[in-house]
Chains A and B, each alone.
Chain A
Amino acid sequence: AQTVTQSQPEMSVQEAETVTLSCTYDTSESDYYLFWYKQPPSRQMILVIRQEAYKQQNATENRFSVNFQKAAKSFSLKISDSQLGDAAMYFCAYSIRSGNTPLVFGKGTRLSVIA
């Protein structure tokens, strides 16, 4: 069974600084997706960034980028120039590319941003 592990239950960062959230996963599949979702206090699940396993280039979305290490099964999220609005729970998630879409989540990392 696929598993996703986020080893940092809580993190904090100073405003304008950079922070990296860790995620590792376990799978025997070779073709899959990886995601980072953000859940602010409003509870809405918001997609931050998405990576396709067959792409070696790391995905980037404005201040958000990932470090995807396929051999190590690692998928960390880097937030640059942190803003107060980045404070949220962040979930790493995985799904296989074929068949159904059983999005498997990690337990989350709560990020605090300090002004």
Chain B
Amino acid sequence: EAQVTQNPRYLITVTGKKLTVTCSQNMNHEYMSWYRQDPGLGLRQIYYSMNVEVTDKGDVPEGYKVSRKEKRNFPLILESPSPNQTSLYFCASGGVQGRDTGELFFGEGSRLTVL
């Protein structure tokens, strides 16, 4: 089954404790991205990756890191989480524009709470 898998789905942590949210897709997609969803703000892009070893900042990259060492994986790293990073996070993947439908496939979301 084609899917994007995120882990953990729920996490409560404390300020400053490093954490990683993993994301894996099995559709051989070149493009992967992280979004955060906050009430009244919709979904905002954090980072994206066009392919292995290629990453770029989105609209709200501060406080986050990513890496793309393998095509299927795109982890989101919070080196020193703060309460303003409490949010619902989505990983998404898709083909490269011009060769696909433009659609992104989303994971089920990770609810992160930073105390």
Q: Which of B86-115 contact A (CB under 8 A)?
A: 88, 90, 92, 94, 96-98, 101-104, 106, 108-109
Known contacts being A101-B94, A102-B45, A107-B41, is A47 close to B88, with CB within 8 Å?
no
Whether the Cβ atoms of B106 and A45 lie closer than 8 Å is yes
Q: How many A-B residue pairs have CB under 8 A?
A: 64
Interface range on chain A (Cβ under 8 Å from partner): 20 to 34
Chain A's closest residue to B90 (CB) is: A45
Q: Is B50 a contact partner of A100 (Cβ separation < 8 A)?
A: yes
Contact status of A100 and B97, CB under 8 A, knowing A43-B108, A44-B106, A50-B103: yes
- Could you give, for residues 28-39 of chain B, a 1 whenever the CB lies within 8 Å of some chain A CB and a 0 otherwise? 000101010000
- Number of B residues contacting the other chain (C-beta, 8 Å)? 27
Closest chain B residue to A6, Cβ basis: B42
B43 surroundings in chain A (CB, below 8 A):
91, 105
Is A79 an interface residue when CB atoms closer than 8 A count as contact?
Answer: no
A85 to B42, CA, bound (A): 21
With A96-B97, A108-B42 as known contacts, state yes or no: A103 contacts B108, CB within 8 Å: no
Q: Which residues of A contact B88 (CB under 8 A)?
A: 43
CB <8 Å contact, A50 and B102: yes
Among A43, A52, A98, residue most surrounded by chain B Cβ atoms (within 10 Å): A43
Q: Which of B33, B50, B96, B109 contacts A103 (CB 8 A)?
A: B33
Chain A interface residues toward B at CB < 8 A? 9, 33, 35, 42-45, 47, 50, 52, 91, 95-108
Give residues in B with beta carbon < 8 Å to A: 31, 33, 35, 40-45, 48, 50, 56, 58, 88, 90, 92, 94, 96-98, 101-104, 106, 108-109
